Structure 1
Amino acid sequence: MRIGLSTPIVVRVPEIASPWEVGGGPAELTRIAETADDLGFDHLTCSEHIAVPAAEAAARGSTYWDPLATLSYLAARTTRIRLATSVVVLGYHHPLALAKSYGTLDRLSGGRVVLGVGVGSLEAEFALLDAQWAERGTAADRALAVLRVAWGRREVGDFVLDPPATSTTAPLWVGGRTRRSLRRAVTLGSGWVPFGLPADALAAYLAAVSRPSGFEVVLSPGRALDPLADPGGTRRRLTGLRDIGATVACCAVRATDIDHYCDQLAALIAVAAPL
């Protein structure tokens, strides 16, 4: 099981983010990305919300850096680590626009993009953007089908998309918390990134489907880990994810400042190494 990093600063969800992140900027973000890259983490993430309704901010947080801009910045400061959207909302974009923008980033980064996508869950945000809320799941299936065809190809139908991504194998992680999201991931994607599901539900969902070779199951331990203060508890939580079927664990770590955060990253890799 590989270890990925839920990037701090760029997304601040209450009860997961640490207070020091509020003052974090490009310098801290660069140090984190370079440290994670050097330590061998699998990926960095960035999520998408264009505008969070004020009534939802207390639960969801209100800080969401733009994923394309953020991951492009991180691509220039790293060499190996993958760059994953977790997730981009399909209903906010034309699939060919995603193939072009993230395909360009894939080429700039040397093939390190993972396009994590979801159907979206904020009706008010859809309304703000004049995006289709009703039947968004069906629309997402159509968009995924187009992305699979367009990814890495210079010519799509009667149109040219140049530059294309570096490979025609689309790295598509599908987010969600339903059986339908898992079926969508198995059928149209290359991985599943569930959220908000208990361990027994995750295990039951995964046991009910046949996953293709190389399919990635990206699970989160939930609240932030503290591998320096609690290496045993951290290992138990990661082992639990592995036993459910995770191929990648996407983790957040607790810290008091940037120095402590980078120390936590090194400790996390050490704790997870035998897994």
Structure 2
Amino acid sequence: MQLPIQSQSTIYAEPWEAAAGPGDLRAVAVAADRAGFDYIASCDHVGVPRRLAPAMSTIWYDPVATLAHLAAVTERVRLLSHVAVVGLRHPLATAKQYATLDHLSGGRLILGVGAGHVREEFEALGHDFGQRGAVLDEAIDALRAALGPEEFPEHHGKFYDFEGLGQLPRPAQPRVPVWVGGSSLAAVRRAALKGDGWLSQGDPRDRLPEQIATLRRLRAEAARGGAADGCSEEPIVVGAITEPLYVGRPGWEVGRRTVTGAPEELAESLRAYRAMGVHQIQVRFRCRSRDELVDQITAFGAEVAPHLDH
């Protein structure tokens, strides 16, 4: 699940999050950890321009600091950047942060990356917004090298060039998974050619089968042509963001798109994603308080998740 509180876009934030703090964030992370969730995720924005602030808000916690903080209070749940706009930073700086996070968490990092969409962020940090796709393509390659097993990583490309600079600690994982976020054709192609996973950015159910078919076709073509640079030989992990959920029958207005009902009903609805070829789903719960969210997470883990494999 994407964590609440750490990002508060008006598209999805609940009213109670505005007054929430670190203790609430920790409680939610611990609940997800105990309920058996696969990962918790944190977003990435350096700064939000005034023109977008009314919709996006300016509340965006730093993902590395947030996930490192939560690694210390959780035991098994994985830690996902969904997504890190890696083109805003040099790959060696990104690798230093995320390698340390993986080392401190005992190998729980999943590095989710994306191109970004806020022009002003790129311009303020001295980067070319128009080249962000090409930069991301190379940044993934550079990060593969910088997060690999070598103490002195090496990469030579158009945008980044480095060698002879040692970085310790290394990640605890032999290979840090890189999941590519985005639903444009360019993002799907990038995931197919360079990713270990694809993070759909909210594609509706009726669009997912076509997206997944394109992803698999592009990956198969790249594999046959030897163009899947840096990809794992394992099948790509396909992700989807579900509709908002509420376990049970809510006594309040949760919105027409929210999927509600008994655990078996929710599980039946969510199993449709697996039939499409989705391997992992990211869920979000409608809630009026931290305690209600923790209750929803706990109920989902105990009562809905066991039905998902049936």
Q: Following TM superposition, by how much is the alpha carbon of 1:268 offset from its aligned partner in structure 2, in angstroms? A: 1.8
**Structure 1: gaps spanning 5 or more residues:** none
- Which residue in the other structure is 1:220 paired with? 241
Deviations 1:85-126 (A, max 9, x none): 001102111112111110000000000011111011111221
Structure having the larger proportion of residues in strand: 1
Alignment partner of 2:109 out of 113, 131, 136: 113
Alignment partner of 2:287 out of 255, 265, 269: 255
Alpha-carbon distance in structure 1 between the residues aligned to 2:286 and 2:46: 26
The question of 1:54 aligning with 2:50 is answered yes
Matched ranges for 1:153-232 at <5 A: 153=149, 154-157=151-154, 158-210=164-216, 213-222=234-243, 224-229=244-249, 230-232=260-262
Q: Following TM superposition, by how much is the alpha carbon of 1:234 offset from its aligned partner in structure 2, in angstroms? A: 3.5
Deviations 1:120-147 (A, max 9, x none): 1111221122222122111111110111
Alpha-carbon distance in structure 2 between the residues aligned to 1:152 and 1:80: 22
More moved, 240-249 vs 115-124? 240-249
Alpha-carbon distance in structure 2 between the residues aligned to 1:81 and 1:228: 25
Alpha-carbon distance in structure 1 between the residues aligned to 2:125 and 2:268: 42
Q: Following TM superposition, by how much is the alpha carbon of 1:36 offset from its aligned partner in structure 2, in angstroms? A: 0.9
Percent of residue pairs bearing the same amino acid type: 36
RMSD: 1.7
Q: Following TM superposition, by how much is the alpha carbon of 1:214 offset from its aligned partner in structure 2, in angstroms? A: 4.2
The answer (yes or no) to whether the contact 2:203–2:240 under 8 Å persists in 1 is no
TM-score normalized with structure 1 length: 0.92
Per the alignment, in what secondary structure is the counterpart of residue 238 of structure 1? helix
- Which residue in the other structure is 1:29 paired with? 25
Alpha-carbon distance in structure 1 between the residues aligned to 2:282 and 2:106: 22
Alpha-carbon distance in structure 1 between the residues aligned to 2:282 and 2:202: 14
**Change over 3 Å in CA distance of 1:123–1:236 after alignment to 2:** farther
- Which residue in the other structure is 2:226 paired with? none
Higher RCO structure (Cα 8 Å, ≥6 apart)? 1
Q: Following TM superposition, by how much is the alpha carbon of 1:159 offset from its aligned partner in structure 2, in angstroms? A: 1.9
The answer (yes or no) to whether the contact 1:82–1:112 under 8 Å persists in 2 is yes
- Which residue in the other structure is 1:41 paired with? 37
Alpha-carbon distance in structure 2 between the residues aligned to 1:15 and 1:138: 29
The answer (yes or no) to whether the contact 1:170–1:190 under 8 Å persists in 2 is no
**What is the aligned residue count?**
270
Which 4+ residue blocks in structure 1 deviate beyond 4 angstroms? Answer: none
Alpha-carbon distance in structure 2 between the residues aligned to 1:93 and 1:219: 27
**Change over 3 Å in CA distance of 1:209–1:33 after alignment to 2:** closer
Per the alignment, in what secondary structure is the counterpart of residue 208 of structure 1? helix
Amino acid at match of 1:238: L
Alpha-carbon distance in structure 2 between the residues aligned to 1:204 and 1:213: 21
- Which residue in the other structure is 1:7 paired with? 3
Per the alignment, in what secondary structure is the counterpart of residue 198 of structure 2? strand
Amino acid at match of 1:75: A
**Change over 3 Å in CA distance of 1:27–1:209 after alignment to 2:** closer
Alpha-carbon distance in structure 2 between the residues aligned to 1:59 and 1:237: 30
Alpha-carbon distance in structure 2 between the residues aligned to 1:197 and 1:36: 24
- Which residue in the other structure is 1:134 paired with? 130
TM-score normalized with structure 2 length: 0.82
- Which residue in the other structure is 1:68 paired with? 64
Amino acid at match of 2:171: A
Per the alignment, in what secondary structure is the counterpart of residue 88 of structure 1? coil
Per the alignment, in what secondary structure is the counterpart of residue 191 of structure 2? helix
The answer (yes or no) to whether the contact 1:238–1:272 under 8 Å persists in 2 is no
**Structure 2: gaps spanning 5 or more residues:** 155-163, 220-232, 250-259
Q: Following TM superposition, by how much is the alpha carbon of 1:236 offset from its aligned partner in structure 2, in angstroms? A: 4.8
